[in-house]
Chains A and B, each alone.
Chain A
Amino acid sequence: LAKTTQPISMDSYEGQEVNITCSHNNIATNDYITWYQQFPSQGPRFIIQGYKTKVTNEVASLFIPADRKSSTLSLPRVSLSDTAVYYCLVGGFSGNTPLVFGKGTRLSVIA
């Protein structure tokens, strides 16, 4: 299972764009890249998933370079409620392969 590396923590002011980069040098051909958000005492919540290039949904964008050895989660105009831990995971195609969590990035949004 591919190992991921993310910054341990980040701080941002409200209204700013936040970019969290994740390294996954050993990503396999059939691995997808998925980002989850976790608030204290809650289960992780799916944010976005991609395989290559760029993916955008109503809450975030995910940028994946051609070599797929890294990815960047972009959160536009963060608010205080975006304070959470963000996990980058790489996983298999089938959905029967467990997702292995790294340490995640603790984002603190400041007013």
Chain B
Amino acid sequence: GAVVSQHPSRVICKSGTSVKIECRSLDFQATTMFWYRQFPKKSLMLMATSNEGSKATYEQGVEKDKFLINHASLTLSTLTVTSAHPEDSSFYICSASGQGAATGELFFGEGSRLTVL
């Protein structure tokens, strides 16, 4: 099946720094990627939808200047958490859909756990 890879899987940073998380589709072209965040023992919450070559669409309540999303190619989307604070600590998961993906099926990355000290 299609593979989506995230990097890094874990990152620890100091408050005020920026952190970039990469999401790559390894064997298909991802025209659309989605970013989710998940708090402990909670469900996934959709943050934004990004389409290759255009600006991301953010869900209500998600600060676009805080969570910068770039989808510059068909195989890579990045999420940058700017000026991170402890409340940004969470599990971030990307998913991708596109050419070669089954109808309505999304493939998810392994997730990236961000800890802000």
Residue contact B105 to A44, C-beta cutoff 8 Å: no
Chain A residues within 8 Å of B105, by CB = 34, 46, 49, 95
Instruction: Return the chain A residue nearest B102 by Cβ.
Output: A49
Chain B residues within 8 Å of A87, by CB = 43-44
Interface 9-residue window, one of A14-22, A71-79, A101-109: A101-109
> Can you add 13 more A-B contacts, CB < 8 Å, to A34-B105, A92-B104, A101-B43?
A34-B104, A41-B91, A41-B113, A42-B110, A43-B109, A46-B105, A87-B44, A95-B104, A95-B106, A98-B34, A98-B49, A99-B95, A102-B43
Interface residues, chain A, with chain B CB atoms under 8 Å away:
31-32, 34, 36, 41-46, 49, 87, 91-96, 98-104
Chain A residues within 8 Å of B107, by CB = 46
Q: What would be 30 A-B contacts, judged by CB atoms less than 8 Å apart?
A: A34-B105, A41-B91, A42-B110, A42-B111, A43-B4, A43-B110, A43-B111, A44-B44, A44-B93, A44-B95, A45-B108, A46-B1, A46-B105, A49-B104, A49-B105, A87-B44, A91-B104, A93-B103, A94-B104, A95-B97, A95-B101, A95-B102, A96-B31, A96-B97, A98-B46, A98-B49, A101-B43, A101-B45, A103-B43, A104-B43
Contact-residue bracket for chain B: 20 to 34
Residue contact B104 to A93, C-beta cutoff 8 Å: yes
Closest Cβ of chain A to B3, distance in Å, is: 11
Interface residues, chain B, with chain A CB atoms under 8 Å away:
1, 4, 6, 31-32, 34, 36, 43-46, 49, 51, 91, 93, 95, 97-98, 101-111, 113
Kindly identify which residue among B51, B97, B104, B108 contacts A44, using a CB–CB cutoff of 8 Å. Answer: B108
